[in-house]
């Protein structure tokens, strides 16, 4: 009944590729349950969250990346030739989870800081295969905030139906 009045606050999102492995699995296709975040600021996201954001170079596409730093954080490159800088207000830094391919990763190391306004949601549950699925590891704050939403809106049968292994 709540869904009829208020609508769902989650949606399904398909993820291809292994840039977020092992979190999202190394499979070609994973289905995520994503919590919508219509008004994103530092009250709603935390470092450590797996977020869905608009691709900075192709705004009709979406990426899933780990939130690594928020506004005010000093960023220091491993390349000694690059100067440190501080993330400005409403900026964040996102990275791919796959450490084995970190040099080729398409994340803030490639495209730089991202606007918080480009974040559209937080991944809260991942269906890697029909037998390998579960909550996405996020910050402690976000896991507590998303727990009641999972209890109400998670439908594993729906995820499995929409999942294309």
**Whether 43 is catalytic:** no
Q: How far apart are CA 141 and CA 125, in angstroms?
A: 16
Task: Tally helices (H) and strands (E) across the chain.
Answer: 4, 10
Counting Cα atoms < 13 Å in the Cβ hemisphere of 61 gives 8
Nearest alpha-carbon partner for 116 in 134, 140, 92: 92
Which residue among 35, 65, 109, 122 is the active-site one? 65
Residue 136 exposed, middle or buried by CB count within 10 Å (0-12, 13-18, 19+)? buried
Which residue among 19, 66, 109, 122 is the active-site one? 19
Q: What is the set of active-site residues?
A: 19, 65
């Amino acid at each position: 009944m709540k869904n009829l009045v208020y609508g769902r606050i989650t949606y399904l999102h398909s993820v291809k590729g292994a840039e977020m492995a092992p979190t999202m699995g190394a499979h070609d296709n994973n289905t995520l349950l994503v919590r919508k975040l219509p008004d994103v600021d530092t009250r709603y996201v935390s470092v450590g969250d797996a977020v869905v954001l608009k691709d900075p170079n192709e705004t009709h596409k979406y990426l899933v990346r780990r939130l690594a730093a928020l506004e005010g954080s000093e960023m220091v490159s491993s390349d000694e030739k690059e100067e440190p800088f501080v993330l400005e207000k409403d900026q964040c830094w996102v990275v791919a989870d796959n450490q084995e391919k970190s040099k080729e990763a398409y994340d803030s190391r490639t495209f730089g800081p991202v606007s918080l306004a480009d974040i559209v949601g937080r991944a809260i549950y991942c269906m890697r295969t029909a037998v390998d699925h579960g909550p996405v590891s996020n910050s402690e704050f976000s896991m507590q905030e998303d727990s009641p939403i999972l209890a109400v809106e998670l439908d594993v049968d729906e995820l499995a139906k929409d999942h294309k292994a």
